[in-house]
Chains A and B, each alone.
Chain A
Amino acid sequence: MNNNGAGSSSGSGDASPARRNSKRPKYSRFTQQELPACKPILTPQWVISVFTLVGIIFVPIGVAALLASNDVVEIIDRYDAVCVPQNMTNDKVGYIQNDAIDKTCTRRIKVPKDMNQPIYVYYQLDNFYQNHRRYVKSRNDGQLRDRSKENDTSGCDPEKTTSNGVPIVPCGLIAWSLFNDTYNFTRGNKALTVNTTDISWKSDRDHKFGDDVFPKNFQNGNLTGGKKLDPNKPLSQQEDLIVWMRTAALPTFRKLYGRIEVDLKENDTITVTLKNYYNTYSFSGKKKLVLSTTSWLGGKNNFLGIAYLTVGGLCFFLATTFTVVYLVKPRKLGDPSYLSWNRNTGGH
């Protein structure tokens, strides 16, 4: 009956229905896999030149990055242990938790090199797990942003409400444990002003922290965590809070405290008068004060430069090795006799 079908359609004198009747697959360059394709073959010349090229590009970048990083002047001063009075070194926690003791502490820092403004002031905490799951989740973004959601404290356990059930703004463990050491810098007799504005992300100020949300019932519980906030300043202006609320991913982290907008000369001595309020003693964390300039690459960081140099060097090394191998023992490209099965029968 196949004949039948073909016969009738050819009888009508039209070729196209006959073609449609057949099961011949439709032609298209896609189904026939005839689309143009490009597939590089890894010839020795190609490989060597690519490696060389990568080396040539990477090594200078690495050198530049290292140089930039070396230009950065960084002063780190650990003060958590030193600021404890001699008689309290066996009971640091007792010292820090005793409000009666004056927490003022003075440090002198010598500037090793000229530092150009802006000089960034950071505090660095150690062994502080801002990334703990309970800690990270303990906040309510809606409440921070929106005045109408003031009473929304979901997710803020265990710092939702005060003991008498009034919602806390801002709620949650993060806000509650806000860093509260303060630093004052003087050079000679002249105070160095620390600019603490514009230290947070602009997007955070504009969108995440409302300018009509004011702290309420904050740090009123029986256990005070960290800094108290000025209830008359909206959250969008509490930049130290905003910086703090952007939680760090690692247990050792720096957070921006402010900027000194004056150049510092080599061998200047800076006196830092700090209030050592924050309790890192109970979890044996460290506190450090960091002053740092920046380069075009940011702060001091040798890693990037070293990484570039390593990769670049490796590429150079491989390129030379391949060149040597290629020159000493060349082999024909695409020779099927090198295939494993051919080699087996031939080699045995």
Chain B
Amino acid sequence: MAGGRRKKNFLRKLYSFSCGKASLDEDHSQIGGPGFSRIAFANDPDCFEATNLGYPANYVSTTKYSLATFFPKALFEQFRRVANIYFLVTGCLSFTPLAPYSAVSAILPLIIVIGVTMAKEAVEDWRRYQQDNEMNNRKVKVHRGDATFDDTEWKNLRVGDVVKVEKDNFFPADLLLLSSSYEDAICYVETMNLDGETNLKLKQSLEVTSNLQDDSNFRHFKAVVRCEDPNANLYTFVGSLEYQDQQYPLSPQQLLLRDSKLRNTDYVYGVVIFTGHDTKVMQNATNPPSKRSKIERKMDKIIYFLLFSLVLISTVGSIFFGIATDDDIENHRMKRWYLRPDDTTIFYKPSEAAVAALLHFLTAMMLYSYFIPISLYVSIEIVKVLQTIFINNDHEMYHEESDKPAHARTSNLNEELGQVDTILSDKTGTLTCNSMEFIKCSIAGTAYGLGVTEVEKAMARRKGSPLLYEPDVEEEGHRDNNKPAVKGFNFTDNRVMNGNWVNEPHADIIQKFFRLLAICHTAIPETDDESGKISYEAESPDEAAFVIAASELGFQFYQRTQTNISIHELDPLSGKTVERSYRLLNILEFNSTRKRMSVIVRDEEGKLLLLSKGADNVMFERLAKDGRKFEDKTKEHMHNYADAGLRTLVLAYRELDEDEYAVFNEKFTEAKNSVSADRDEKVEEAADSIERDLILLGATAVEDKLQNGVPECIDKLAQAGIKIWVLTGDKMETAINIGFACSLLRQGMKQIIITLESPEIKLLEKDGNKDAIFKASKESVIHQITEGRKMTSSSDSQSFALIIDGKSLAYALEDNVKNLFLQLAVTCASVICCRSSPKQKALVTRLVKEGTGKVTLGIGDGANDVGMLQEADIGIGISGVEGMQAVMSSDVAIAQFRFLERLLLVHGHWCYRRIASMV
């Protein structure tokens, strides 16, 4: 034991020496500026510098109170209520001789009321503490020096520790991935606890550390990690690794987040970077926003009113008391002799009537304390908890497939549900189920795919014409009988299916098209060992739909390694299935500003290919002059697809020559390796430089399926007089079509469309004069709004629908225009805002809430709806596919949009009535 300690001390000296050297280096490095100052000494948490940094241990406490702070803090919380303060004051006074009754009867109710609420707090906190405890005491293998890994509790981890996490275990802290059981140091991570997404995410370590695959490698492992300060952003990470005197850039690819789970990988090694409350997941934890219902606010007002009348009564009473007391002795004669006013204490002394009156005032305040209904708060609490239980237990709001009941996260908004005036809804994942089906495509100017979308059906219904596509539907049904339907694939066209595409006129383009679908993605194949079937874990349902479609059509993607993508594909010449693998050189990732993703691969012949897919507006402007052969046709098809409520993507490719690629690669790597705030911009710039002169292949169309019962639900809500606004990021045509599909827009409705797509504005945009654009756009928006106002005020029998796009919305939300806009919007039965950003969603919500003063309800499922949910009076999260962020910030979580009907019309109604009749 003693020997071991001495050895340790000795080691520590050595470490501190080496660390000192490291810190010298630090002075020369560029990072370390504000916001990027974190340093972790890998495998060396004991060294002098590391202990000096004072990073917290990995102990996580989510409790509100500690043993010592519980009483003061909880009491403080309690006494923030006016009524409680009042009762405390009277309680204190009741110990004085002023009290008209005994002290116990004044203090007891207060103690009971506060005791009950505090007990509730305490129990909740105790549960949290136990959860924390369980979490903090989980075991993980940590490097103890000498290449031995010992079990230790999570809470003992320090920044810089090297840990080994085994399959199906949670990561104890935010780790930097060093290596895994795989050769190429990849690992699969399930982030269900973070964002609710059940798909596996691929993480990969730097190549330099990927060989550290054994315990023994860590005997002399030393590295320094510099990175950003703790923050709440789950999807960004900027840092660098200094290893063997070389700097390597780090990206989110190498970061394993606490509370996510290691899957499909036997073990990984990692360095602890963020511990305890510094971890991203803890930084993300926010308390549910405290919203107060109208009834509660009203009750506060009533309490104030009661308090005021209490003071008034007491004042009047004490004035009269003073007068009467003053009268009691007149000319040394007692008037009311039976009270013995000659022999009194100060409380009744006629000679000091003013003081007596003042004291009487205090007594009266206590005496009339029954004015303030102290038990009301408790009773309301209890009733609300019961109501929450009713909501949570409602079978009719339980979703069988996802196994999710409704969940009311805050109990104080129950009765507001019955008072909702405006619903602001997201589209994707809320109205639609966010599961995509590959339905149509347009390749080389030819449209394929005969499926009928729901929007088309709705449109056909709307026109009153018999279903044009009826025979096809039957045929499809017939086909489905023969072959089990594949989820996410609803494509029927004999021209391309079963390998028939070989005989089509543009077979080579079709081949490229599907090959692109099979290669350009970030999905991970998972082969079921028994059946040999391959399922895909993709980041977005669109991607999954594409990969599935490609594999159904003969381009089966079956293996992905760090550097290779392998597919089975049909060789048009021999007609046989061949295996081909493509060397993956770069992935230019998708994000919402780029609206496109590309991969650069080298095929087996050594050709360099840039494969790209993206939104139409960004893609068409990047096409090469000779790549626009099918542009018009494709555009036309895409327009049709959009009309049919489909999501479209443009596919294009380009062959690169070696020099060009070399230039790009250098630029791109440099950008990726830079560790600074503008790194993202640099990467984007580099990507931008290569994604040019593309050759158009075609376009895909996937259907965004409506959730069950959405049209009926919206219909009922509209009947109940609730206005529904849809705020979506989709294109206007798609939004309008979805609007029709879910009966938000009806045939008789007059549509007022506000857009900036007019020719004049476009002309101005080409000129590029920003001020002019701004001025003209604003004028145009104002003009359109006033026109709309005129229309709505002139005819009163018709109902109107307002459709506005994101650009116009930006102008319409400006201070001087927004009231005008609101006036127009409230006269319309339904409002659709398309192409709107999350910020705009929140702004619109605030506008409605503050402009109309009515209760607003926000409903959404994605991270982009969080602002809206928090801004609205009630936020409802759909616990669907897009992650848990919306649910985390919501007040009530439901599984499907259609449950909204029951939640609002049944539970809201009940809750409001019951609370009202109880008060």
How many of chain A's residues touch chain B, expressed as a range? 20 to 34
Report Cα–Cα, A341/B722, bound state, in Å.
10
A25 touches B339 (CB 8 A): no
Cβ-defined partner of B337 (8 Å) among A132, A157, A279, A348: A279
Task: Fill in one digit per residue for B397-431: 1 if any A CB lies within 8 Å of its CB, else 0.
Answer: 01010011100000000000000000000000000
Report Cα–Cα, A157/B342, bound state, in Å.
12
A158 touches B405 (CB 8 A): no
A33 touches B910 (CB 8 A): yes
A282 touches B337 (CB 8 A): yes
Interface centre among A134, A135, A159, A341 (most CB of B within 10 A): A134
Interface centre among A2, A24, A26, A348 (most CB of B within 10 A): A24
Report Cα–Cα, A129/B348, bound state, in Å.
14
The answer to whether A253 has its CB under 8 Å from any CB of chain B is no
A133 touches B100 (CB 8 A): yes
The answer to whether A243 has its CB under 8 Å from any CB of chain B is no
Report Cα–Cα, A8/B840, bound state, in Å.
47
Interface centre among B340, B348, B405 (most CB of A within 10 A): B340
A348 touches B796 (CB 8 A): yes
Cβ-defined partner of B334 (8 Å) among A128, A173, A282: A282
The answer to whether B389 has its CB under 8 Å from any CB of chain A is yes
Chain B residues with CB below 8 A from A225, complex form: 337-338
A159 touches B335 (CB 8 A): no
How many of chain B's residues touch chain A, expressed as a range? 20 to 34
Report Cα–Cα, A225/B340, bound state, in Å.
9
A283 touches B335 (CB 8 A): yes
Chain B residues with CB below 8 A from A128, complex form: 338
Task: Fill in one digit per residue for B320-355: 1 if any A CB lies within 8 Å of its CB, else 0.
Answer: 000000000000011111111001110110000000
Q: With A33-B910, A134-B348, A135-B339 as given contacts, are A24 and B403 in contact (CB-CB < 8 Å)?
A: yes
The answer to whether B395 has its CB under 8 Å from any CB of chain A is yes
The answer to whether A12 has its CB under 8 Å from any CB of chain B is no
CB distance from B616 to the nearest CB of A (A): 37
A283 touches B337 (CB 8 A): yes
The answer to whether A232 has its CB under 8 Å from any CB of chain B is no
Chain B residues with CB below 8 A from A31, complex form: 389-390, 393-394
Chain A residues with CB below 8 A from B721, complex form: 339, 341-342
Q: With A25-B395, A31-B390, A33-B390 as given contacts, are A129 and B336 in contact (CB-CB < 8 Å)?
A: yes
CB distance from B896 to the nearest CB of A (A): 15
The answer to whether B392 has its CB under 8 Å from any CB of chain A is yes
Report Cα–Cα, A276/B390, bound state, in Å.
73
Report Cα–Cα, A22/B405, bound state, in Å.
10
Q: With A33-B910, A134-B348, A158-B344 as given contacts, are A22 and B403 in contact (CB-CB < 8 Å)?
A: yes
Report Cα–Cα, A279/B347, bound state, in Å.
25
A177 touches B395 (CB 8 A): no
Cβ-defined partner of A2 (8 Å) among B337, B363, B394, B403: B403
Report Cα–Cα, A283/B394, bound state, in Å.
70
Chain B residues with CB below 8 A from A158, complex form: 340, 343-344
A173 touches B338 (CB 8 A): yes
CB distance from B418 to the nearest CB of A (A): 15
The answer to whether A296 has its CB under 8 Å from any CB of chain B is no
Report Cα–Cα, A143/B425, bound state, in Å.
75
Q: Which residue of the partner chain B has the closest CB to A135?
A: B339
B337 touches A32 (CB 8 A): no
CB distance from A170 to the nearest CB of B (A): 15
The answer to whether A256 has its CB under 8 Å from any CB of chain B is no
Report Cα–Cα, A157/B338, bound state, in Å.
12
Task: Fill in one digit per residue for A151-173: 1 if any B CB lies within 8 Å of its CB, else 0.
Answer: 00000011100000000000001
Task: Fill in one digit per residue for A16-55: 1 if any B CB lies within 8 Å of its CB, else 0.
Answer: 0000001111110001110000000000000000000000
Chain B residues with CB below 8 A from A24, complex form: 395, 398, 400, 403, 405
Interface centre among A25, A129, A177, A348 (most CB of B within 10 A): A25
Q: Which of A170-201 contact B (CB under 8 A)?
A: 173, 176-177
Interface centre among A132, A225, A348 (most CB of B within 10 A): A132
Q: Which residue of the partner chain B has the closest CB to A278?
A: B338
CB distance from B126 to the nearest CB of A (A): 24
Chain B residues with CB below 8 A from A25, complex form: 392-395, 398, 405
Q: Which of B174-208 contact A (CB under 8 A)?
A: 198
A23 touches B403 (CB 8 A): yes
Q: Which of A250-290 contact B (CB under 8 A)?
A: 279, 282-283
The answer to whether A93 has its CB under 8 Å from any CB of chain B is yes
Report Cα–Cα, A24/B910, bound state, in Å.
22
Chain A residues with CB below 8 A from B333, complex form: 93, 282
A159 touches B340 (CB 8 A): yes
Chain B residues with CB below 8 A from A173, complex form: 338-340
Chain B residues with CB below 8 A from A177, complex form: 337-338
CB distance from B368 to the nearest CB of A (A): 13
A134 touches B403 (CB 8 A): no
Q: Which residue of the partner chain B has the closest CB to A133?
A: B100
Report Cα–Cα, A38/B335, bound state, in Å.
62
Chain A residues with CB below 8 A from B395, complex form: 24-25, 27, 32
Chain A residues with CB below 8 A from B198, complex form: 2
CB distance from B89 to the nearest CB of A (A): 21
Q: With A24-B398, A282-B334 as given contacts, are A134 and B405 in contact (CB-CB < 8 Å)?
A: no
Chain A residues with CB below 8 A from B390, complex form: 31, 33
Report Cα–Cα, A27/B338, bound state, in Å.
69
Chain B residues with CB below 8 A from A223, complex form: 340
Report Cα–Cα, A132/B327, bound state, in Å.
14
A157 touches B335 (CB 8 A): no
Cβ-defined partner of B339 (8 Å) among A134, A279, A339: A134
Report Cα–Cα, A41/B11, bound state, in Å.
86
Q: Which residue of the partner chain A has the closest CB to B100?
A: A133
A132 touches B393 (CB 8 A): no
Interface centre among B345, B363, B403 (most CB of A within 10 A): B403
Q: Which of B865-919 contact A (CB under 8 A)?
A: 910
B339 touches A132 (CB 8 A): yes
Q: Which residue of the partner chain B has the closest CB to A93?
A: B333
Q: Which residue of the partner chain A has the closest CB to B392?
A: A25
Q: Which residue of the partner chain B has the closest CB to A159?
A: B340
Q: Which residue of the partner chain A has the closest CB to B263?
A: A1
Report Cα–Cα, A135/B405, bound state, in Å.
64
Q: Which residue of the partner chain A has the closest CB to B406?
A: A25
Chain A residues with CB below 8 A from B336, complex form: 129, 132, 282-283
CB distance from B720 to the nearest CB of A (A): 9
Task: Fill in one digit per residue for A84-112: 1 if any B CB lies within 8 Å of its CB, else 0.
Answer: 00000000010000000000000000000
Chain A residues with CB below 8 A from B392, complex form: 25
A134 touches B334 (CB 8 A): no
CB distance from A265 to the nearest CB of B (A): 39
Report Cα–Cα, A314/B796, bound state, in Å.
44
Report Cα–Cα, A133/B318, bound state, in Å.
13
Chain A residues with CB below 8 A from B796, complex form: 348
CB distance from B642 to the nearest CB of A (A): 33
Q: Which of A306-348 contact B (CB under 8 A)?
A: 339, 341-342, 348
Report Cα–Cα, A22/B404, bound state, in Å.
8
Chain B residues with CB below 8 A from A339, complex form: 721
Chain A residues with CB below 8 A from B340, complex form: 158-159, 173, 223
CB distance from B754 to the nearest CB of A (A): 23
Q: With A2-B403, A25-B405 as given contacts, are A157 and B393 in contact (CB-CB < 8 Å)?
A: no
Interface centre among B344, B347, B395, B398 (most CB of A within 10 A): B395
Chain A residues with CB below 8 A from B344, complex form: 134, 158
Interface residues, chain A, with chain B CB atoms under 8 Å away: 2, 22-27, 31-33, 93, 128-129, 132-135, 157-159, 173, 176-177, 223, 225, 279, 282-283, 339, 341-342, 348
18 CB contacts below 8 A, A to B, read A2-B403, A23-B403, A23-B405, A24-B395, A25-B393, A25-B395, A25-B398, A33-B394, A33-B910, A133-B363, A135-B339, A157-B345, A173-B339, A177-B337, A177-B338, A223-B340, A282-B333, A348-B796
Q: A32-B395, A135-B338 are in contact. List 7 more A-B contacts (CB 8 A).
A: A23-B404, A31-B390, A129-B339, A176-B338, A225-B337, A282-B334, A282-B335
Closest 7 CB pairs of A and B: A177-B338, A25-B393, A31-B393, A158-B343, A341-B721, A283-B335, A283-B336
